[in-house]
């Protein structure tokens, strides 16, 4: 590979701070690898003294592999590619050793004691109810944001609408508990590391001496506290080499702080700027339109993206009638072009479910970037399955007592408790009918309900779900209670939609459950063959490239991901636009953007980003 002049300039930078502002596909990773070699080979820097910080474990891995490919045989020993968290953990362990204390990490979900369980327990104690998975995610994300942005939780509450009752109390109890017991979550690794570096002169000097050259990849998604740690470490030599594309900052919700890049000049008046505006990855068609598109954002360094690659095919915007036609379109493309170097990208992970079902049915190999799809263990999916299981055996009180109030029938807790004292092998409805003084009206209701469940056993899974949703009025319950679960009704409907999609090809409950298990298995044991189709959220596709990219489900509300409850401020819109841009710029040769007009009876609007692209083209 022949390096460009601009790449050369950045690679040849040795001492002092530098910010490399680059566009997608400009070879940022390439530059970090070549610069590392340059420091070692031409400037006699000891490999141990270079610390390259990557965004995620997988990008650290990717960088190592690319290094190997570019410089086969070069002794990589001592060169450190690490995430900031892994660096911080090392520092904390050393500190703990000196202080003869011990910190326990509580991130691993597989351990019995972990932060998820701790937060669930605190939430239950404070709010007297169980927290849903969605709310737990909101809670964790808010705590993380506060830590990463180094803000006061009170200020956070004042500036944000958060759907968690007693958030401040939960936050305080959680923080105090961890402190008392020396527990660490990922965010504490950062806060504690910063405290150590600020308070322990010995360790600060030691680590400054240990790493003389610091390189930071994906600088745009580094949080405020991470940047503080890195700057403190690099000081006073300030041999800090940051590579970034502010247009690809997509982790604002987790505290990414691209503002740090805009402050670079102020923080380092003598700092050097390098620009890499040539995209080596994509065709002229893709580069030109994505460039015009991102220019609609106001908060950004102005860059002019160019490419020497030739024109190939225009970006393809496809509007079909419904999601089935979207899938058919993709299948046809895969049939014509094969699965090699192809990705299907989407805004929300739920989209993966429909794609997995369709690809599996057509025996097409795929791999998912996010292997733990929460769909398969989601409470809503479990509840529908449980109602179907209950239909097959209406004596199963252990199922019914958790669901009776979510369907029609006006059954009371007292009646359930009474029924539990009767013969446990008898049908639950017959038992409730024994309730002392129960009116004829109630009995009629119960007989009807019993009949409803009998009917369900005669239906195929697809029709059974529809029956549960409408006739048993489970859908009504979801509509009225979605907020309680930290979700919108539209999202809950999508869960049902995908469940029905999978149910369509099955004839019995056991076959249906078997299919769900099989799809979940395929998802978590993803095909790693290079010639399988990659399914990924745009977030997880960061840094990757494919010959052919389909972006799917491009519906207003879905992408940009705004619902009726979320605020549509300029900042969030710009972040969504950056995310869309990251998706577009993953494509080397062919980019297809797909939207559809209807989802069942509901009419949809195409994503506003497609409107923008159509206007710009
Ligand atoms: N000088 C060059 N000549 C030819 N190809 C290059 C050159 N530099 C980089 N590339 C290629 O361009 C592609 C993009 O490089 P790389 O992935 O490093 O870009 P990036 O800036 O990290 O991209 P992004 O930020 O969009 O993820 C890769 O396929 C890489 O091999």
The 10s digit of each residue's pLDDT in 253-272 is 888 988 888 889 999 999 99
In this structure, are strands 183-184 and 213-216 parallel, antiparallel, or unpaired? Answer: unpaired
Find how far residue 469's CA is from the centre of its chain: 29
Count of C-beta atoms within a 10 Å radius of residue 41: 11
- At 565 the pLDDT is 59
Instruction: Report the C-alpha gap between 400 and 389 in whole angstroms.
Output: 10
- At 566 the pLDDT is 59
- At 559 the pLDDT is 96
Provide the sign of the torsion angle of the four alpha carbons 60, 66, 69, 73, taken in this order. negative
406 in a known ligand binding site: no
- For atom 2 of ligand 1, the residue with the nearest CA is 3
377's tokens: 């263990």
Q: How far is the CA of 186 from the centre of ligand 1 (A)?
A: 30
436 in a known ligand binding site: no
Provide the sign of the torsion angle of the four alpha carbons 274, 280, 283, 286, taken in this order. negative
Count of C-beta atoms within a 10 Å radius of residue 531: 11
Report the alpha-carbon angle 497-499-500, nearest 5: 65
Task: Looking at 269-350, list the stretches that DSSP marks H as alpha helix, in order from N- to C-terminal side.
Answer: 284-294, 323-337
Residues linked to residue 602 through DSSP beta bridges, in sequence order: 599
Residues at CB less than 6 angstroms from ligand 1: 1-4, 7, 22, 24-30, 245, 248, 280-281, 543, 545, 585
Provide the sign of the torsion angle of the four alpha carbons 242, 248, 254, 258, taken in this order. positive
Whether the upstream peptide bond of residue 560 has omega within 30° of 0, thus cis, is yes
Cβ atoms of 532 and 367 closer than 8 Å: yes
- At 187 the pLDDT is 96
Provide the sign of the torsion angle of the four alpha carbons 414, 135, 346, 536, taken in this order. negative
Spans in the chain with pLDDT lower than 50: none
- For atom 6 of ligand 1, the residue with the nearest CA is 280
Which of the listed residues 25, 54, 542, 583 should we mutate to test ligand 1's pocket, taking the one with most ligand atoms within 8 A of CB?
Answer: 25
Which helix (H) or strand (E) segment holds residue 28: the answer is helix 28-43
Find how far residue 337's CA is from the centre of its chain: 29
Provide the sign of the torsion angle of the four alpha carbons 444, 446, 450, 455, taken in this order. positive
Which helix (H) or strand (E) segment holds residue 380: the answer is helix 379-392
269 in a known ligand binding site: no
Ligand 1 atom closest to residue 26's alpha carbon, by position in its atom list:
21
83 in a known ligand binding site: no
Instruction: Report the C-alpha gap between 83 and 58 in whole angstroms.
Output: 9
- For atom 16 of ligand 1, the residue with the nearest CA is 27
- At 242 the pLDDT is 97
- At 183 the pLDDT is 95
Residues linked to residue 534 through DSSP beta bridges, in sequence order: 343, 367
Q: Which of 570, 558, 564 is nearest to 610 (CA)?
A: 558
With a threshold of 0.85, tell me whether the complex ipTM lies above it: yes
- At 528 the pLDDT is 67
Any idea of the CA torsion for 243, 245, 248, 252, to the nearest 10 degrees? 70
Burial of 386 (0-12, 13-18, 19+ CB in 10 A): middle
Count of C-beta atoms within a 10 Å radius of residue 569: 9
Ligand 1 atom closest to residue 542's alpha carbon, by position in its atom list:
27
Q: How far is the CA of 29 from the centre of ligand 1 (A)?
A: 7
Ligand 1 atom closest to residue 217's alpha carbon, by position in its atom list:
22
- For atom 26 of ligand 1, the residue with the nearest CA is 24
Burial of 132 (0-12, 13-18, 19+ CB in 10 A): middle
In this structure, are strands 366-368 and 546-551 parallel, antiparallel, or unpaired? Answer: unpaired
Instruction: Report the C-alpha gap between 317 and 135 in whole angstroms.
Output: 35
Instruction: Report the C-alpha gap between 578 and 586 in whole angstroms.
Output: 13
27 in a known ligand binding site: yes
Instruction: Report the C-alpha gap between 256 and 110 in whole angstroms.
Output: 28
- At 484 the pLDDT is 83
Which of the listed residues 20, 27, 55, 58 should we mutate to test ligand 1's pocket, taking the one with most ligand atoms within 8 A of CB?
Answer: 27
- At 72 the pLDDT is 84
Cβ atoms of 410 and 445 closer than 8 Å: yes
Q: How far is the CA of 104 from the centre of ligand 1 (A)?
A: 39
Mean of the per-residue pLDDT values of the chain:
93
Place of tokens 């999609």: 501
- For atom 27 of ligand 1, the residue with the nearest CA is 543
Any idea of the CA torsion for 244, 250, 253, 254, to the nearest 10 degrees? -50
Instruction: Report the C-alpha gap between 608 and 286 in whole angstroms.
Output: 18
């Amino acid at each position: 590979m022949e390096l460009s002049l601009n790449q050369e300039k950045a690679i040849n930078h040795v001492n002092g701070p530098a910010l490399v502002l680059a566009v997608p596909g400009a070879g940022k990773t390439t530059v970090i690898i070549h610069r590392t070699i340059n420091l070692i080979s031409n400037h006699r820097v000891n490999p141990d003294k270079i610390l390259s910080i990557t965004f995620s474990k997988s990008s650290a891995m990717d960088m190592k592999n690319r290094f190997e490919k570019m410089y086969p045989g070069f002794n990589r020993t001592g060169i450190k590619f690490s995430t900031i968290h892994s660096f911080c953990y090392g520092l904390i362990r050393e500190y703990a050793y000196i202080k003869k204390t011990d910190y326990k990490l509580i991130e691993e979900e597989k351990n019995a004691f972990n932060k998820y369980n701790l937060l669930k327990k605190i939430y239950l104690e404070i709010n007297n109810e169980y927290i849903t998975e969605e709310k737990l995610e909101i809670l964790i994300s808010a705590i993380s944001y506060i830590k990463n942005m180094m803000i006061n939780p009170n200020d956070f509450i004042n500036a944000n609408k958060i759907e968690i009752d007693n958030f401040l109390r939960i936050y305080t109890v959680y923080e105090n508990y961890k402190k008392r017991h020396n527990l660490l979550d990922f965010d504490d690794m950062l806060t504690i590391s910063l405290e150590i570096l600020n308070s322990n002169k010995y360790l600060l000097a030691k680590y400054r001496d240990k790493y003389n050259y610091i390189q930071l990849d994906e600088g745009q998604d580094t949080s405020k506290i991470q940047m503080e740690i890195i700057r403190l470490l690099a000081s006073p030599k300030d041999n800090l080499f940051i590579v970034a594309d502010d247009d690809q900052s997509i982790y604002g919700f987790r505290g990414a702080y691209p503002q740090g890049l805009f402050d670079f000049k102020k923080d380092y008046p003598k700092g050097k700027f390098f620009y890499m505006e040539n995209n080596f990855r994509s065709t002229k068609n893709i580069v030109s339109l994505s460039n015009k598109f991102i220019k609609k954002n106001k908060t950004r360094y102005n860059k002019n993206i160019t490419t020497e690659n030739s024109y190939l095919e225009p970006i393809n915007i496809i509007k079909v009638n419904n999601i089935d036609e979207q899938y058919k379109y993709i299948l046809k493309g895969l049939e014509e072009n094969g699965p090699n170097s192809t990705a299907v990208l989407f805004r929300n992970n739920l989209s993966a479910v429909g794609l997995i079902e369709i690809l599996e049915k057509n025996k097409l190999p795929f791999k998912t970037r996010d292997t733990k799809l929460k769909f398969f263990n989601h409470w809503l999916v479990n509840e529908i399955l449980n109602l179907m299981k209950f239909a097959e055996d209406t004596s199963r009180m252990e199922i019914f007592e958790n669901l009776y109030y979510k369907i029609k029938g006006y059954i009371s807790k007292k009646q359930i408790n009474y029924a539990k004292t009767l013969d446990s092998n008898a049908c639950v409805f017959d038992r409730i009918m024994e309730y002392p003084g129960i009116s004829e009206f109630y009995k009629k209701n119960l007989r009807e309900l019993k009949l409803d469940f009998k009917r369900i056993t005669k239906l195929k899974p697809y029709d059974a779900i529809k029956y549960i949703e409408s006739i048993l009025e489970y859908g009504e319950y979801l509509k009225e209670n979605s907020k309680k679960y930290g979700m919108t009704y539209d999202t809950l409907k999508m869960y049902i939609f995908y469940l029905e999609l999978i149910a369509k090809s099955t004839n019995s409950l056991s076959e249906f459950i078997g299919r769900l298990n099989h799809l979940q298995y395929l998802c978590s044991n993803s095909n790693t063959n290079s010639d399988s189709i990659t399914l990924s959220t745009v977030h997880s596709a960061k840094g990757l490239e494919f010959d052919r990219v389909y972006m799917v489900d491009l519906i207003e509300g879905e992408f940009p991901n705004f619902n009726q409850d979320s605020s549509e401020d300029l900042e969030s819109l710009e972040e969504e636009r950056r995310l869309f841009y990251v998706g577009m710029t993953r494509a080397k040769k062919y980019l297809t953007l797909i939207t559809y007009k209807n989802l069942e009876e509901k009419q949809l609007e195409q994503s506003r980003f497609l409107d923008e692209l159509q206007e710009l083209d």
